[in-house]
């Protein structure tokens, strides 16, 4: 498959699945301000999905639009990071997952903003402003909840420990990444690691949380090998399009 | 909207029965002046407003749940984004309204505790389930439509912070109503299955939407004092009639049938005649026996209880920050 198409799916599927996960919180957050903020981030991510998957369909040239790609592919065709399909867990899990993702997403978009492919650069430039805010917010919450009460620190450390093995995939490139990097369309994923490490270490230190020692990580999202959770998420998300094929909404 | 059967505190007094302060207060209301938080006000006015604004705020918050039920299943990315934005607006309305209530000397947390303990209510409408995607259209069209009918006059209510909150809320609600109608339009002009869902949604939401205006004027025992204080501007039946007159042509345009065999145009009154909702059902829903009361309250309690550690941590962190020397920041 064309590397540019793959890049658009990798970006758009991650924003879609994370946006979908965040929208599960609607009406159930610990305080009203968080209901609003989580919805706001979800909304940005769904908007970015429309752009990435829209471009994917355009690049593919087979008449699939963003909705066809979002609602009528099965799990094996999804290219999102495994991290974003992890279930929400408690509020601490959701925020930690968001932080680990945002700390990668922002430098990724900054690199893509200089892409040799102008349509990629245009989306990245627009998304970058939104994601800078996402990172500011998730980092702030990790700090406040880490350095809050004894219970909140324990919950945040547990979330970090549980999610850590799902983060390393962000920096593990494959042949598609090599082709994209060679064409200066996207960065080599490993190049984003120092920026991510810098952000994560600084925030964890202020949050009084310990960076997990392990270096093992799960991978497979970019190749379409997902966890059990994605199929359930898609079953719910795609229900109407699957149950009433051909209907317009 | 979303304030039904708010009990007024105090019976309507004649001029002769009022203290000089109460008479001066009533004069200000009668001149159309706005009452502000620092102004003197009768205790009954304050308490009635807390109940009304609190109930309204709770309704916005609980109202996230029936629509939130379809966010994860919205049929397109655009519909999902619009619905998230709408539910986000509702949480925002809850915030402004709690802030308006706080100007009357009650905290948001205290109001939430009252809701969770069953001491305060929210609108009966949110105790009905959203069973199909068409219900999301029907809620925007009918429920937000009814809310607007009630809230537009409240922009002129006597209590300043409440009136100003209403101005902001009404702007957003009319956008919501248009979005709901747009969904109904797609469904009503879609496949036979979609048309069936649209008609079914109208069938289920019509009478609950009429109930949103509260009981018939002949049974509405709480209105006189609230109207004298301009906390309530129009009677329940006036607003219900306006809503029906506005909505029937919209249903006709959609090609949908209002589920009321008695509905007909009355030339003499210049409005529709229509059947009243089943008031026994309305009272049961208010008593907690609607199809979703238990689920709605369980969801709110769960969110509150499971969020306790977050609220405590945020407070603890803020306290640590405040205790640190400024130079260390």
CB-based burial, B149-180: b 16+ in 10 Å, e otherwise: bbbbebbebbbbbbbebbeebbebbbbbbebb
Place A1 in a pLDDT band, splitting at 50, 70 and 90. low
Torsion over CA: A80, A82, A85, A89 (sign)? negative
Quote the pLDDT of residue B6.
72
Q: What are phi and psi of A48, to 5 degrees?
A: -65, -35
Quote the pLDDT of residue B12.
80
Checking if the pLDDT of B28 tops 80, the result is yes
Residue at A121 is within a domain: yes
Q: What are phi and psi of B266, to 5 degrees?
A: -115, 105
Residue at A248 is within a domain: no
Residue at A82 is within a domain: yes
Question: What is the rounded average pLDDT of the residues B11-15?
Answer: 81
CB-CB: which of A27, A239, A244 is closest to B87? Answer: A27
Residue A29 in contact with partner chain B when CB distance is under 8 A: yes
Checking if the pLDDT of B311 tops 80, the result is yes
Residue B107 in contact with partner chain A when CB distance is under 8 A: no
Q: Looking up tokens 């079914």, which residue turns up?
A: B200
Residue A246 in contact with partner chain B when CB distance is under 8 A: yes
Place B232 in a pLDDT band, splitting at 50, 70 and 90. very high
pLDDT digits over A110-149, tens only? 999 999 999 999 999 999 999 999 999 999 999 999 999 9
Q: A71: distance to nearest CA of chain B, Å? A: 8
Please give the model's pTM, rounded to 2 decimal places.
0.95
CB-CB: which of B77, B133, B304 is closest to A46? Answer: B77
Q: Which of B83, B130, B317, B322 to mutate to test the interface with A (most CBs of A within 10 A)?
A: B317
Q: Per the structure block, which two tokens stand in for B285? A: 């829903």
Residue at A249 is within a domain: no
CB contact under 8 A, A247 and B64: no
A160: domain CATH number is 1.20.1260.10
pLDDT digits over A6-44, tens only? 999 999 999 999 999 999 999 999 999 999 999 999 999
Quote the pLDDT of residue B2.
74
Checking if the pLDDT of A186 tops 70, the result is yes
CB contact under 8 A, B81 and A70: no
Task: Report chain A residues whose CB lies below 8 A from the CB of B303.
Answer: 27-30
Q: Which of A21, A22, A31 to mutate to test the interface with B (most CBs of B within 10 A)?
A: A31
Quote the pLDDT of residue B135.
98
pLDDT digits over B55-95, tens only? 999 999 999 999 999 999 999 999 999 999 999 999 999 99
Task: Report chain A residues whose CB lies below 8 A from the CB of B76.
Answer: 67, 71, 241, 249
Question: What is the rounded average pLDDT of the residues B87-104?
Answer: 97
Quote the pLDDT of residue B13.
83
**β-bridge mates for residue B264, sequence order:** B273
Residues 6 or more apart whose Cβ sits within 8 Å of residue B324:
none
**Crossing angle, helix B308-323 and helix A118-146, to 10 degrees?**
80
ipTM: 0.97
Question: What is the rounded average pLDDT of the residues A145-167?
Answer: 98
Q: Which of B58, B59, B75 to mutate to test the interface with A (most CBs of A within 10 A)?
A: B75
Instruction: Name residues 285-324 of chain B within 8 A of A (Cβ).
Output: 299, 302-304, 306-314, 316-318, 320
Q: Per the structure block, which two tokens stand in for A3? A: 């590397």
CA–CA–CA angle B229, B22, B150 (5° rounding) = 5
Distance CA A69, CA A120 (A): 18
Domain coverage including residue A197 = 3-243
Residue at A138 is within a domain: yes
Quote the pLDDT of residue B279.
96
CB-CB: which of B72, B81, B314 is closest to A47? Answer: B81
- Percent of chain B beyond pLDDT 90? 89
Q: Which of B61, B84, B183 to mutate to test the interface with A (most CBs of A within 10 A)?
A: B84
Q: Quick check: A59 and A8 in contact, CB under 8 A?
A: yes
Which long-range contacts (C-beta less than 8 Å, at least 24 apart) are formed by A123-131?
A: A123/A11, A123/A48, A123/A51, A123/A52, A123/A55, A126/A51, A127/A44, A127/A48, A127/A51, A130/A44, A130/A47, A130/A48, A131/A44, A131/A102, A131/A105, A131/A106
How many domains is chain A partitioned into structurally? 1
CB-CB: which of A43, A71, A145 is closest to B84? Answer: A43
Question: What is the rounded average pLDDT of the residues B49-55?
Answer: 96
Residue at A164 is within a domain: yes
Checking if the pLDDT of B147 tops 70, the result is yes
CB-CB: which of B61, B75, B94 is closest to A240? Answer: B75
3-state secondary structure string across chain B: CCCCCCCCCCCCCCHHHCCHHHHHHHHHHHCCCCECCCCCCCHHHHHHHHHHHHHHHHHHHHCHHHHHHHHCCCCCHHHHHHHHHHHHHHHHHHHHHHHHHHCCCCCHHHHHHHHHCCCCCCCHHHHCCCCCHHHHHHHHHHHHHHHHHHHHHHCCCCEHHHHHHHHHHHHHHHHHHHHHHHHHHHHHCCCHHHHHHHHHHHHHHHHHHHHCCCCCHHHCCCHHHHHHCCCCCCCHHHHHHHHHHHHHHHHHHHCCCCCCCCCEEECCCCEEECCCCCHHHHHHHHHHHCCCHHHHHHHHHHHHHHCHHHHHHHHHHHHHHHHCCHHHC
Q: Quick check: A120 and A186 in contact, CB under 8 A?
A: yes
């Amino acid at each position: 498959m064309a590397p540019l198409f793959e890049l658009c799916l990798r970006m758009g599927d991650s924003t879609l699945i994370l946006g979908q996960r965040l929208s599960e919180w609607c009406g159930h957050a610990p305080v009203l301000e968080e209901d609003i903020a989580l919805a706001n981030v979800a909304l940005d991510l769904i908007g970015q999905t429309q752009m990435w998957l829209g471009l994917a369909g355009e690049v593919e040239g087979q008449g699939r639009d963003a909705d066809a790609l979002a609602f009528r592919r099965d799990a094996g065709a999804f290219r999102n990071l495994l991290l974003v399909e992890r279930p929400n867990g408690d509020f601490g899990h959701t925020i930690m997952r968001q932080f680990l993702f945002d700390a990668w997403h922002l430098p990724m978009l900054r690199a893509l903003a200089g892409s040799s492919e102008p349509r990629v650069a245009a989306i990245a430039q627009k998304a970058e402003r939104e994601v800078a805010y996402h990172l500011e917010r998730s980092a702030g919450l990790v700090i406040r909840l880490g350095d809050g009460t004894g219970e909140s620190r324990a919950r945040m450390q547990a979330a970090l420990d549980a999610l850590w093995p799902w983060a390393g995939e962000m920096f593990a490139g494959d042949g598609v990444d090599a082709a994209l990097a060679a064409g200066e369309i996207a960065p080599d994923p490993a190049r984003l690691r120092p920026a991510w490490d810098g952000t994560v270490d600084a925030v964890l230190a202020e949050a009084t949380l310990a960076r997990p020692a392990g270096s093992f990580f799960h991978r497979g999202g970019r190749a379409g090998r997902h966890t059990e959770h994605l199929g359930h998420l898609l079953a719910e998300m795609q229900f109407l399009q699957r149950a009433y094929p051909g209907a317009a909404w | 909207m979303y304030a039904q059967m708010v009990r007024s505190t105090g019976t309507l007094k004649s001029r002769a029965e009022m203290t000089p302060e109460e008479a001066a207060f009533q004069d200000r209301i009668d001149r159309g002046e706005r009452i502000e938080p620092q102004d003197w006000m009768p205790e009954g006015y304050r308490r009635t407003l807390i109940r009304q604004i609190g109930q309204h705020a709770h309704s916005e918050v609980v109202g996230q749940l029936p629509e939130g039920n379809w966010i994860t299943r919205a049929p397109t990315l655009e519909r999902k984004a619009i619905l998230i934005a709408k539910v986000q607006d509702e949480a925002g309305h809850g915030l402004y309204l709690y802030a308006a209530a706080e100007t009357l000397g009650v905290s948001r947390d205290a109001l939430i505790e009252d809701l969770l303990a069953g001491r305060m209510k929210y609108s009966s409408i949110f105790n009905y389930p959203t069973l199909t995607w068409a219900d999301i259209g029907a809620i925007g069209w009918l429920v937000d439509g009814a809310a607007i009918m009630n809230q537009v006059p409240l922009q002129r209510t006597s209590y300043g912070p409440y009136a100003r909150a209403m101005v902001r809320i009404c702007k957003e609600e009319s956008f919501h109503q248009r979005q709901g109608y747009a969904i109904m339009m797609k469904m009503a002009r879609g496949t036979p299955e979609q048309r069936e869902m649209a008609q079914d949604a109208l069938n289920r939401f019509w009478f609950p939407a009429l109930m949103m205006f509260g009981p018939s004027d002949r049974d509405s025992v709480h209105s006189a004092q609230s109207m004298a204080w301009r906390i309530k501007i129009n009677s329940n039946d006036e607003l219900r009639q306006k809503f029906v007159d506005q909505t029937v042509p919209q249903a006709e345009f959609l090609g949908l049938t209002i589920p009321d065999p008695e509905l007909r145009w009355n030339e003499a009154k210049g409005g529709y005649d229509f059947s009243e909702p089943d008031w026994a059902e309305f009272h049961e829903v208010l008593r907690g026996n609607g199809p979703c009361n238990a689920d709605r309250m369980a969801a709110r309690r769960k969110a509150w209880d499971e969020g306790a550690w977050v609220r405590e941590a945020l407070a603890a962190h803020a306290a640590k920050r405040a205790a640190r020397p400024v130079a260390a920041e």
